[in-house]
Amino acid sequence: MRQIVTTANGGVEVLKIEQRPDPTPGPGEVLIRVKAAGLNFADILARQGLYPDAPKKPCVMGYEVSGLVEGLGEGVDQTLLGKAVVALTRFGGQSELVVVNSEQIFEKPDSLSFEQAAAIPVNYLTAYALLAVMGSLQPGEAVLIHNAGGGVGLAALDIAKRLSAKTYGTASPGKHDFLRQRGLDHAIDYRNQDWLAALLKLTDGRGVELVIDPLGGGHWKKSYQALRATGRLGMFGISTASANGLRGKLGLVKAAWETPWFHPFGLLSKNKGVFGLNLGHLWHEREKVAEWMRVILEGVRDGWIRPHVDKAFPFDQVGAAHAYMEARKNIGKVVLVP
Ligand SMILES: NC(=O)c1ccc[n+]([C@@H]2O[C@H](COP(=O)([O-])OP(=O)(O)OC[C@H]3O[C@@H](n4cnc5c(N)ncnc54)[C@H](OP(=O)(O)O)[C@@H]3O)[C@@H](O)[C@H]2O)c1
């Protein structure tokens, strides 16, 4: 089988296609013939050497796939053979074949292409955990979605609409029309102006009840300031530090330096809450994650979950796929097809 290997820290030239022996499923596992694999911002950060959770290099990245069940290990339900599925993978997803525990697969909704199905797990589970679970977004509340035009951002917008929240989103200006068409109430250009001042103007100085922030560093401080009383801040990334080589390392140091400290007395007196999310650290909570996935897939059937694939790149153009995301060209998801 062919796999996408991140051979070292560096630019897109470190990404190579390599041949490896086909894997075989062990007890409780299934073998999936991959039709599409999700590309995530974490894969870019891992290549840049800025993602502490990445496996040691050389490594195969990839948290999610869609495909067909081609083999079964001992003790697995025989009716799964040949089924179209979507699966979470603990790395290694960017391969022609993957082996996963049968608890990590979910039936692919017929209405979705394989590319669309591969766009679901990471983006929608992250957004669901941030908004519906930890952020507890209520009808009529206001939410600020940073990077609203990205994969997680668009997923968060679908979920916020479903929860009848008022939606504000930051994004590059070229993405605003698309975001409005998807139902975003207020698009904020955060590349050319102070987004906090713009948000406060739009909310008559009140702010919002929930901010989800993958930018990190000094943005977390501003996002906290954007909270109305009873507001919550969900922190889940440091995309602001993304860059190759020394610039990335310096970006990380700058982000760490600008990261705010939240004191319990400050939270208490201001009626604010802060939380963090790392989906990749929830493997020991499979039942919870599986339940969220069931709600999301039900949402596909009911029409309120609408995964948007911007572009599908063949495996051998993985470098171009990384470059596309790094240049902020994508609106929604980028997937890789074997
Ligand atoms: N903690 C978790 O469990 C978890 C799970 C999934 C994702 N994440 C994080 O969430 C963030 C978004 O992920 P995603 O998969 O939605 O990514 P994505 O689809 O690539 O979207 C990211 C968007 O962020 C903006 N951006 C901000 N800084 C950027 C930079 N330095 N380089 C490139 N783009 C930048 C761009 O939008 P504009 O053009 O509008 O600026 C870009 O389109 C990432 O930080 C990722 O690590 C965390």
> Sign of the CA dihedral 216, 177, 293, 227?
positive
Rounded Cα–Cα distance for residues 228 and 231 (Å):
5
The verdict on the CB of residue 326 being under 6 Å from ligand 1 is yes
Residue 46 Cα to ligand 1 midpoint, Å, equals 13
Residue 147 Cα to ligand 1 midpoint, Å, equals 6
Ligand 1 atom closest to the Cα of residue 277 is 1
pLDDT in tens, the chain (338 residues): 999 999 999 999 999 999 999 999 999 999 999 999 999 999 999 999 989 999 999 999 999 999 999 999 999 999 999 999 999 999 999 999 999 999 999 999 999 999 999 999 999 999 999 999 999 999 999 999 999 999 999 999 999 999 999 999 999 999 999 999 999 999 999 999 999 999 999 999 999 999 999 999 999 999 999 999 999 999 999 888 877 788 888 888 899 999 999 999 999 999 999 999 999 999 999 999 999 999 999 999 999 999 999 999 999 999 999 999 999 999 999 999 99
pTM of the model: 0.97
> In a mutational test of the pocket of ligand 1, which residue from 328, 330, 336 has the highest number of ligand atoms less than 8 Å from its CB?
328
The verdict on the CB of residue 244 being under 6 Å from ligand 1 is no
The verdict on the CB of residue 48 being under 6 Å from ligand 1 is no
Residue 304 Cα to ligand 1 midpoint, Å, equals 22
Q: Counting beta carbons within 10 angstroms of the beta carbon of residue 34, is it exposed (0 to 12), middle (13 to 18) or buried (19 or more)?
A: buried
Rounded Cα–Cα distance for residues 232 and 132 (Å):
12
Rounded Cα–Cα distance for residues 323 and 105 (Å):
30
Residue 152 Cα to ligand 1 midpoint, Å, equals 7
Is residue 179 within 8 Å of residue 157, measured between CB atoms?
yes
